[in-house]
Each structure stands twice: as structure tokens, then as C-alpha cells.
Amino acid sequence: MCGIVGFTHKERPSAGERIREATATLLHRGPDQQGVFETPNVSLGSVRLKIIDLISGEQPMGSDDGDTVLVFNGEIYNFAEVREELKSRGRRFTTRSDTEVVLKAFLEWDTACFARLRGMFGLALWTESRRRLVLARDRMGIKPLYYSRRGDDIYFASELKAIFVHPEIDRAIDVDGLNCYLRLNWVPAPHTLVRDIVKLLPGHLLVWENGQVRTECYWRCAPQPLPARVTLEEAKQQLDSLLQHSVKEHLVSDVPLGVWASGGIDSSTILHYAAAASPSRLKTFSITFKGRSFDESRYIREVAHLYGTDHTEFDLSPGAELVDAIQQFAYYSDEPSADAGSLPVWFLSKMSRQQVTVALSGEGADELFGGYLTYRADRYSRLAQAVPTSLRRAAASAVSRWPVSDDKISFEYKLKRFLEGSLLPPEEAHVFWNGTFSAAELRAFFLKADPEPMRRLLGDVPAGNGLDRFLLFDQRYYLPDDILYKVDRMSMAHSMEVRPPFLDHRIVEFAAALPQSYKVRGSELKFILRDLMKGKLPRSILYRKKSGFDIPAHDWFRGLLKPLLLDTLTEPAVEPTGLFRWQGIDAVIRDHLERRANFGYHLWGLLILFLWLKRWNIRSADSHDKTGAGERNRILI
């Protein structure tokens, strides 16, 4: 695993040490080797975490004639297969690395090579003779890639902080991105929270040639054709084969490897196939919450015992240096990581890295096979439409007056959000159930509240009815921009590579083609996966209640994290931004602390946002906004 950075200088001559300074900001992503490449037209930098071929494969890597240079972040799981095909076409290799396979594949097939690669990646290829730069990101957006255009030049990097090295970048807040963040707790691509910088979309490539830029999609999920009347048994056999192949490929590594185990069906499924394919005893790693109702340690230990793993746990308790970790998020997150699951992933990565460099995880199964309670809520909401709106509104009002609980996601919390969501259009309800502030709540404290960015986002929900439209939307946005983003930043902060075998594109296309009833049947989520794992995993794992991998935010903000909250969200911090109304934010804090409502996850998003704004000196909007040109120089914190 690695980090990459680069920029052209068609208009501006290279600043000499600028590329080295930018590369140094990424050292946590690749502490084993760093290098730079420069010509009068381009500067490229890379850092490398050695996983495959520990002897050679250094980057930047150039072609034999020196005309084409690659910087590459990721892993290609079918690199041996592609290498053999390239050898048959006359290409010669001097390393065992997947990096050289990517380079030679590009020389052979140009941008058509990306569709031949199975894996996760963000990469850049420069061809000197053509003055041409090509960027590409993997199909599912497992690895990040940002870019910014300044005149005829382009800057790119694996993380924002490497682009921030350039003084030409105006760190102005992207108000559209902020509108989405405050509703969703994540920022949908191509937005970031910095107006001058955008994300390259998953499955896309970008070509810069002499100052001209074009982007194109090289992959979008096309359901794999299945027989018109595929039986459940036939579908299970195919899924079994796909998982066997994917997990086996994801186990290829020249460094120690383990599995992240949560005690749920997703990670336990990956562990099952990994144990069958691994010739040696596997290491497993888990986070526990001992003494809490949502602690999963007994399930974790049951699975670890079943497969005889060398198991290590870390108990995420109030004494676990939580405040220090949260404050470090502002640096390593690049953008605010407002998913409260970031904190467990931080400590899981830190613990795992003491023994291994690579871990397999279960990300993606929920978005492929229908594992979230929101999919059940989508269905129940359609039934609730038969109840008059006035009655649903009255019920939501009544539930809002119930005593609130410190439980992580209590019954009263879920019921209140379901009833409120049932009053919204289906697309808006779907993101509301997994989000935070409603449009009305946002208007109470956010001066730039604008429904249009969310309307544009929700306009990308596929047409039609039923489960599949929301699954595809979540795969396109929620998965890369929240789940995978969180895992990448928290793991790479500790120089740790995490691989999600469920996101092999063959499994993604297979899942998209399945009948909806094979994914959610009645109240049973991920039906085909549970049915496949019968007889392989204990019933206690298959049918246990889904807990969710995050913190008890409601409780901790009334106790352990209260001082950090009150020190960060203050009137002197909020009012000068010109974006927020202090009285509105103060009301959210007081309602939570005085138990009138549970706003723990809402406050987590605000806390992380303000820590981030301060850490990176993010500026308010400039003269393009209604506030006027004087806003340009205002530091938000």
C-alpha cells in the first residue's frame, strides 16, 4: 500500500522542494520507501508500504525507455495472471511486483488496461513524449484519489494534505459539500469540503494533456447475467465459488496478514473462507466494549475458537486515550470522518499493526446483499403510507417526548427517526435514517442551508421501486464516501493495509443480478449470505442482532467526551465563521446534555468538523457567495 502525489507545471515552474514536501505529508501511508520523479513538465512523488515483492518494485517506476512513469497506491490481486498474458505478448519483467504489472499493462493497452485489473488502486501515469498524465481509481472507490485544477495545471494526491502544500490552493469551504455533510455525516463525491479540490469518482479515469482535461467512466456495475429462473441453491453455489476465489486472492502477501473479526456474519464469512485457504494459523483482531449491552466479545471469541485463530482483542473503554485519538483525526482524516465507527477502527488498526501489516475485513456485504436496518425501514415506510400523515406526525411528536436512553441505538431513537422519515419522500427518508440533521434542524443553525445539493444527490437514486435502487445508490456513494473512506484513513494512519474481499467486482455484479428476495426476505436481511453460511457458522452468529461498529455516542457526550465537546463547540469558535448560528448549535448541545433528545451522532459530526476546520485553517466562502468579497480572508476557526 502506498500514497501518491503529483502536479504538472505547464504554467508555473516547479518549486524545487515542493514535491518532496508534499510526498513527506504521506509518509504514514508508506514508511518503507519514498521517491520522486521530476521533469520540466511534471513532478511525481510516492511513498510505499511494502506488501508484495519486498526486494524490488520501488516507485516511482519508469518504463525501459524512461518515457512513461507510474506512481501507484493499491494492490492488484490478479497481477500474476495479467503478467503471464503480458509475457505472452513479449513484455519482459524485472521484478515480482504488481506495480510493474500495472506499468506494463498500461504500455500494452493504454487506458483499457484498468478494466483488466482486479484490485484496489489510485494511480497516476505520466508519458513524457505526449505530455500526458492519466489518473485512475478502482471500481468501488476503495482507495482515494483527489485532484485540483489551477489554470492549465493539475494537482493530485491520495490525501488532501499533500495538495494543501501548494500555496495556490485556496482552502475555502465548499458550501454544497458542507450542506451534504451536515445531513449525511459524509461528503458525496465528487465534492470535498474544500471548494478547489474534488474526488475522482470510483471506476473513473482522468486524462490531462497539455492543459486539457477529460474524465470518463471505465466501469459501472452491470449485473452479471443469471439464468431467468436461477434457484436459490444455484445462486448459493455461485456465491460460494466467488467468495472462495476472492478471499484466496486477497490472502496473497509477502508480509504478515490477519483478519478483522467483529463476531458478525460478514467478517465471520471472510474468516471462514480465509481459514480454508490459508496454510497456516490465522491471526484475528477485534474491538470489544466490555460491560456494555452491545459488547460482541462472546460472539467474537466463539468464532475465533471455531477456527483456532491466534486472537487479540482491545477493549474500547473510557480509559483508552479517546480524546487524544479524536484530536488526531483532524490530521489523518483529511476531511472530517464523521462516522462514529472511526474511533473503533482507529484502535483496531493501531492494535493490529503491532503484529501484521495486512488485514482482511467484511466491508461491502451490507451494501451488496441488503444488511442495513435502513433497507427494512424503506420497506416498512411504504406500508406506513397507508396511515394518514396527521397520525404519523402526531406519533412522531409523542415519541419525541419519551425519556431518552444512553443506549447506543435505543428503541425510542430508532422509532422516532423511523416515524420522522416516514413523512419524507422515499429517497430522502433512506438517507435520513442513516444520517443526522433533518432539513428543518439544519436551518435552525446553518446559515447557508440549501436543499439543492441534497436534491442533486438524491436525483442519482435509480428510478423504480424496491430494494435494488437503494443498494445501488449506497454502493455508489455511502460505501466509498463513508465506510471505505473511514477504513482507509484510520488504517493508513497506522501504516496498515485493509482488504475487503466482498468488493471483488465479480461479486458486486453477481449481487446486483440477484432477485431482491434473495437479499431481503421478510424481515431477514442478507438472506442468501445467511443461507449459504448455514452449517458453516454457528446459529448464534447467523441470527444475532446487528449491533453496528461504532461508539455509544449519546452516553459519552454526557460524560467522558463532554469536556472536549464544550471546549470545541463554543460561541467564539462558531460565530466568526459566518456560517453557523451559535444559538442553534447551543440548543442542540443543551437538548442532548439535558436529555430532551439523543443527538450524540449529530454532535460527533459537529465536533469532528470544528476540529478539522481549526487544524487546516479552512476559510469561509469568497465573493462568489452572497456574503461578499470580504469573506475570502476569514479563517473559520
Q: What is the pLDDT of residue 628?
A: 37
Average of per-residue pLDDT across 616-624: 71
3-state secondary structure of 205: strand
Q: Tens of pLDDT along 153-206? A: 999 999 999 999 998 899 999 999 999 999 999 999 999 999 999 999 999 999
Confidence of residue 466 (pLDDT cuts 50, 70, 90): confident
- What pLDDT score does 224 carry? 66
| Grid cell of 294 as nine digits | 452491545
pTM reported for the whole predicted model: 0.94
CATH topology of domain 2-172+191-217: Glutamine Phosphoribosylpyrophosphate, subunit 1, domain 1 (3.60.20)
pLDDT in tens, 124-150: 999 999 999 999 999 999 999 999 999
What CA–CA distance (Å, rounded) separates 91 from 112?
17
Same fold, 2-172+191-217 and 232-370+466-542: no
The domain ranges of the chain are 2-172+191-217, 232-370+466-542, 553-637
Sheet strands (E) in 281-330? 283-288, 310-315
Query: What mean pLDDT is reported for the chain?
Result: 92
Q: Which helix (H) or strand (E) holds 548?
A: none
Q: DSSP letter at 524? A: B
Residue 629 has what pLDDT? 36
Check residue 364 and give its pLDDT.
97
For residues 405-429, average pLDDT: 84
- CB of 445 closer than 8 Å to CB of 588: yes
Contacts made by residues 181-184, CB under 8 angstroms, sequence distance 24+? 181/336, 181/338, 181/605, 181/609, 182/436, 182/437, 182/442, 182/446, 182/605, 183/431, 183/432, 183/435, 183/436, 183/437, 183/438, 183/439, 183/442, 183/454, 184/431, 184/434, 184/435, 184/436, 184/482
Using one digit for the tens of pLDDT, what is the confidence trace for 526-553? 999 999 999 999 999 998 877 667 788 9
Q: Which of 128-132, 205-209, 628-632 has the lowest mean pLDDT?
A: 628-632
Confidence band of 225 (pLDDT split at 50, 70, 90): low
Query: CATH for 232-370+466-542?
Result: 3.40.50.620
Do the beta carbons of residue 575 and residue 618 sit within 8 Å? Answer: no
pLDDT at residue 14 in the model = 65
Whole-number pLDDT of residue 403? 78
Name the residue among 78, 75, 81, 159 with its Cα closest to residue 120. 75
What region, left, alpha or beta, does residue 531 occupy, with left being phi > 0 and alpha being psi -120 to 50 degrees? alpha
Report the percentage of the chain scoring pLDDT > 90.
77
The pLDDT score that the predictor gives to residue 13 is: 67
Question: pLDDT per residue over 474-501, tens digit each?
Answer: 999 999 999 999 999 999 999 999 999 9
Residues 426-437, mean pLDDT to the nearest whole number:
93
User: For residue range 359-412, what is the model confidence (pLDDT) as tens digits?
Assistant: 999 999 999 999 999 999 998 888 888 889 999 889 888 888 787 777 767 777
| Listed residue (480, 477, 469, 459) closest to 512, CA to CA | 469
Taking residues 224-250, what's their average pLDDT? 91
Q: Per mean pLDDT, which range of 18-27, 63-72, 168-177, 538-547 is the poorest?
A: 538-547
pLDDT tens profile 256-306: 999 999 999 999 999 999 999 999 999 999 999 886 767 788 999 999 999
Mind listing the pLDDT tens digit for each residue in 558-579?
Answer: 999 999 999 999 999 999 999 9
Distance in angstroms (rounded) separating the CA atoms of residues 460 and 477:
10
Rounded CA-CA distance 622/351 in Å is 43
